[in-house]
């Protein structure tokens, strides 16, 4: 079972039961480039986060080059401008949800499905928005 706490509040209880199948579930404060909370140790480059932030400000900027995170390239697929970015790589993929103060990033591979990852990341993002994050 994955227990995810953000600023002392248990939030994993609001998530889909399949959250334990995720490869990574990351929480990035949107205004700085370090991991605040994550379920797993994860390496990334600040410019990768900057590119994701730019795509939220200017939708479509990642589509030609792809979304890079942790040195892995994901083909950008459907999303909602200024709300969520989705990407695919082989049997896995990535979902990025922007809240008021943070980026929530879910990375998955089989047996998790894209829909399960989307539900977890987007539900957590919606919860954080409701809480003022």
pLDDT tens column, 29-77: 554 444 344 444 467 788 888 899 899 999 999 999 999 988 899 999 9
Write down the residue that tokens 């889909």 correspond to: 16
Q: How far apart are CA 124 and CA 133, in angstroms?
A: 11
| Span 64-102, pLDDT tens digits | 999 998 889 999 997 888 889 999 999 999 999 988 878
Cβ atoms of 98 and 116 within 8 Å: the answer is: no
pLDDT recorded at residue 55 = 94
Q: How far apart are CA 27 and CA 86, in angstroms?
A: 16
pLDDT of residue 120: 85
């Amino acid at each position: 079972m994955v227990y995810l706490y953000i600023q002392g509040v248990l939030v994993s209880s609001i998530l889909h039961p399949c959250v334990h199948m995720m490869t990574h579930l990351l929480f990035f404060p949107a205004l700085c480039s370090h991991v605040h909370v994550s379920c797993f140790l994860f390496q990334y480059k600040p410019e990768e986060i900057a590119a994701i932030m730019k795509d939220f400000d200017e939708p479509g900027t990642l589509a030609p080059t792809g979304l890079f995170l942790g040195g892995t390239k994901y083909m950008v697929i459907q999303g909602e401008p200024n709300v969520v970015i989705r990407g695919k790589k082989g049997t896995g993929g990535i979902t990025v949800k922007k809240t008021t103060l943070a980026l929530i990033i879910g990375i998955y591979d089989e047996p998790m499905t894209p829909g399960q990852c989307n539900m977890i990341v987007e539900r957590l993002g919606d919860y954080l928005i409701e809480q003022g994050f």
